Structure 1
Amino acid sequence: MFGFIPYTPLFNVTGQPAMSMPLYWNADGLPIGTQFVGRFGDEATLFRIAGQVERAQPWAHRIPPGQAM
Protein backbone atom coordinates (compact mmCIF):
# COMPACT_ATOMS: atom_id res chain seq x y z
CA MET A 1 0.00 0.00 0.00
CA PHE A 2 2.85 2.39 0.68
CA GLY A 3 3.49 2.55 -3.07
CA PHE A 4 0.06 4.15 -3.55
CA ILE A 5 -0.38 6.03 -0.28
CA PRO A 6 3.05 6.56 1.26
CA TYR A 7 2.21 9.46 3.59
CA THR A 8 -1.25 9.07 5.10
CA PRO A 9 -0.65 5.87 7.14
CA LEU A 10 2.09 7.61 9.12
CA PHE A 11 -0.39 10.11 10.49
CA ASN A 12 -3.06 7.46 11.07
CA VAL A 13 -0.63 5.49 13.24
CA THR A 14 0.77 8.45 15.19
CA GLY A 15 -2.63 10.03 15.82
CA GLN A 16 -1.70 13.37 14.31
CA PRO A 17 -4.66 15.14 12.74
CA ALA A 18 -4.49 15.27 8.96
CA MET A 19 -6.84 16.11 6.10
CA SER A 20 -6.83 16.02 2.34
CA MET A 21 -8.45 18.81 0.35
CA PRO A 22 -9.13 18.87 -3.42
CA LEU A 23 -7.05 21.85 -4.48
CA TYR A 24 -6.18 20.84 -8.03
CA TRP A 25 -7.98 19.06 -10.87
CA ASN A 26 -6.28 17.08 -13.61
CA ALA A 27 -7.05 17.33 -17.33
CA ASP A 28 -9.84 14.75 -16.95
CA GLY A 29 -11.54 16.83 -14.25
CA LEU A 30 -10.61 14.51 -11.37
CA PRO A 31 -9.65 16.07 -8.03
CA ILE A 32 -6.09 15.91 -6.73
CA GLY A 33 -5.88 16.07 -2.95
CA THR A 34 -3.38 18.12 -1.00
CA GLN A 35 -2.61 16.85 2.48
CA PHE A 36 -2.42 19.10 5.52
CA VAL A 37 -1.13 17.86 8.88
CA GLY A 38 -1.60 19.49 12.27
CA ARG A 39 0.08 19.26 15.61
CA PHE A 40 -1.06 16.46 17.90
CA GLY A 41 -4.42 17.37 19.41
CA ASP A 42 -4.84 20.47 17.23
CA GLU A 43 -7.64 19.48 14.88
CA ALA A 44 -9.15 22.95 15.26
CA THR A 45 -6.38 24.51 13.17
CA LEU A 46 -7.11 22.10 10.33
CA PHE A 47 -10.83 22.91 10.47
CA ARG A 48 -10.04 26.63 10.32
CA ILE A 49 -7.71 26.12 7.35
CA ALA A 50 -10.33 24.00 5.57
CA GLY A 51 -12.99 26.66 6.07
CA GLN A 52 -10.77 29.45 4.83
CA VAL A 53 -9.61 27.54 1.77
CA GLU A 54 -13.12 26.42 0.87
CA ARG A 55 -14.42 29.98 1.08
CA ALA A 56 -11.56 31.23 -1.09
CA GLN A 57 -11.67 28.33 -3.60
CA PRO A 58 -15.07 26.56 -3.40
CA TRP A 59 -15.18 23.06 -4.85
CA ALA A 60 -18.56 21.64 -3.77
CA HIS A 61 -19.97 22.37 -7.24
CA ARG A 62 -17.19 20.44 -9.02
CA ILE A 63 -18.28 16.94 -10.00
CA PRO A 64 -15.98 14.58 -11.93
CA PRO A 65 -17.19 13.76 -15.43
CA GLY A 66 -19.64 10.87 -15.52
CA GLN A 67 -20.68 11.27 -11.89
CA ALA A 68 -24.29 12.08 -11.13
CA MET A 69 -25.27 14.07 -8.11
Structure 2
Amino acid sequence: MLDWDLWDGAAPLVGSDTDQAVGQRAVRHHIELYRAIEQQKSELAAEKMRDHLQFLDEHAATVHSSTEK
Protein backbone atom coordinates (compact mmCIF):
# COMPACT_ATOMS: atom_id res chain seq x y z
CA MET A 1 0.00 0.00 0.00
CA LEU A 2 1.25 3.48 -0.82
CA ASP A 3 1.88 5.99 1.94
CA TRP A 4 1.14 8.84 -0.47
CA ASP A 5 -2.46 9.68 -1.31
CA LEU A 6 -3.41 11.38 -4.59
CA TRP A 7 -5.47 13.95 -2.73
CA ASP A 8 -2.56 14.74 -0.43
CA GLY A 9 -0.53 15.67 -3.50
CA ALA A 10 -3.31 17.59 -5.22
CA ALA A 11 -4.68 19.30 -2.12
CA PRO A 12 -2.38 22.35 -2.38
CA LEU A 13 -3.81 23.01 -5.85
CA VAL A 14 -7.46 22.78 -4.80
CA GLY A 15 -8.86 26.26 -4.33
CA SER A 16 -5.59 27.89 -5.31
CA ASP A 17 -5.28 30.66 -7.83
CA THR A 18 -3.57 28.59 -10.50
CA ASP A 19 -3.56 30.31 -13.84
CA GLN A 20 -5.35 29.10 -16.93
CA ALA A 21 -2.14 27.87 -18.55
CA VAL A 22 -1.51 25.51 -15.64
CA GLY A 23 -4.99 24.05 -15.94
CA GLN A 24 -4.65 23.66 -19.69
CA ARG A 25 -1.32 21.89 -19.32
CA ALA A 26 -2.79 19.50 -16.75
CA VAL A 27 -5.70 18.69 -19.08
CA ARG A 28 -3.22 18.07 -21.93
CA HIS A 29 -1.36 15.65 -19.67
CA HIS A 30 -4.58 13.75 -18.99
CA ILE A 31 -5.39 13.54 -22.70
CA GLU A 32 -1.88 12.31 -23.54
CA LEU A 33 -2.06 9.72 -20.79
CA TYR A 34 -5.50 8.54 -21.93
CA ARG A 35 -4.33 8.18 -25.53
CA ALA A 36 -1.28 6.16 -24.51
CA ILE A 37 -3.46 3.83 -22.43
CA GLU A 38 -6.05 3.55 -25.19
CA GLN A 39 -3.29 2.59 -27.66
CA GLN A 40 -1.95 0.08 -25.12
CA LYS A 41 1.46 1.77 -25.05
CA SER A 42 2.36 1.02 -21.46
CA GLU A 43 5.86 2.54 -21.58
CA LEU A 44 4.51 5.79 -23.03
CA ALA A 45 1.64 5.82 -20.52
CA ALA A 46 4.11 5.41 -17.66
CA GLU A 47 6.24 8.24 -19.05
CA LYS A 48 3.20 10.53 -19.39
CA MET A 49 2.08 9.72 -15.85
CA ARG A 50 5.56 10.43 -14.43
CA ASP A 51 5.66 13.75 -16.32
CA HIS A 52 2.23 14.70 -15.01
CA LEU A 53 3.03 13.79 -11.41
CA GLN A 54 6.30 15.71 -11.60
CA PHE A 55 4.42 18.73 -12.96
CA LEU A 56 1.86 18.51 -10.13
CA ASP A 57 4.59 18.05 -7.54
CA GLU A 58 6.47 21.12 -8.76
CA HIS A 59 3.33 23.20 -8.94
CA ALA A 60 2.02 22.06 -5.57
CA ALA A 61 5.36 22.98 -3.97
CA THR A 62 5.15 26.45 -5.54
CA VAL A 63 1.56 26.97 -4.40
CA HIS A 64 2.31 25.59 -0.93
CA SER A 65 5.38 27.79 -0.40
CA SER A 66 3.53 30.92 -1.57
CA THR A 67 0.66 30.31 0.88
CA GLU A 68 3.01 29.86 3.85
CA LYS A 69 4.33 33.43 3.70
Fold shared, TM-score > 0.5 on shorter chain: no
Q: Which has the higher helix share?
A: 2
Q: TM-score, normalised by structure 2?
A: 0.33
Higher Rg: 1
Q: Which has the higher strand share?
A: 1
Q: TM-score, normalised by structure 1?
A: 0.33
